[in-house]
A and B are shown apart, each in its own frame.
Chain A
Amino acid sequence: RKEVEQDPGPFNVPEGATVAFNCTYSNSASQSFFWYRQDCRKEPKLLMSVYSSGNEDGRFTAQLNRASQYISLLIRDSKLSDSATYLCVVISPSGNTGKLIFGQGTTLQVKP
């Protein structure tokens, strides 16, 4: 089983749509979870951390379900500029260097 698994998509949605991405992780000892955004051929950039209680940042909402080892990202009112690949990321529970474990990414294409 992959350490972090995502549906690669692509998700093609019209502007203004609401879209949700899901992610599962295999190691139940994992404690820290994130969504990163990666534009084509660019570096990953932190979008938001994912907290147990769920958290919201503007149009973006992240949820964590520890029992199901499941993380989600909801984007409301999609903009053209949201088109990118969204990476589900987990910090490895082993060691203390904060090694990041990435999912394959889910590609979002927002169309006018």
Chain B
Amino acid sequence: EPEVTQTPSHQVTQMGQEVILRCVPISNHLYFYWYRQILGQKVEFLVSFYNNEISEKSEIFDDQFSVERPDGSNFTLKIRSTKLEDSAMYFCASSERGRTSGYGSYNEQFFGPGTRLTVL
């Protein structure tokens, strides 16, 4: 069964350093997402990406964050200068289509196993 993969599973970095989190979405999917979950808190939307550009982003997704699909396969999240409060689990997700398929049906978002980011 196709699945979303993420690397690394755990990343430890020093405050102020840049990190790149990598995701390989399911191959025929067109919509890509990043979510994060701070320990003990809810899953929060960061950004959605479609047709090689950002479709929507949250207030959390400030200038320190960027996303890219460099080679048609990987989908990356870069944090330019990490802060302590960036420590969280980062989940990548992908879906075949967006909110509706034209029939009003939901296109399930499949989540990757996550990357745990620890900023020291």
**Residues of chain A at the chain B interface (Cβ within 8 Å):** 31-32, 34, 38, 41-46, 49, 87, 91-92, 95-105
Choose, from B14-22, B44-52, B70-78, the stretch at the interface: B44-52
Of the four ranges (under 10, 10 to 19, 20 to 34, 35 or more), the interface on chain B belongs to 20 to 34
In the bound assembly, the distance between CA atoms of A41 and B3 in angstroms comes to: 18
Given contacts A42-B114, A97-B48, contact A102 B56 (CB under 8 A): no
Q: Would you call B111 and A98 a contact (CB within 8 A)?
A: no
- How many A-B contacts at CB < 8 Å in the complex? 70
Return A110 CB to nearest CB of chain B, in Å: 21
**Residues of chain B at the chain A interface (Cβ within 8 Å):** 31, 33, 35, 41-45, 48, 50, 55-56, 89, 91, 95, 97-100, 104, 106-109, 111-114, 116
Given contacts A42-B114, A43-B113, A102-B44, contact A97 B56 (CB under 8 A): yes
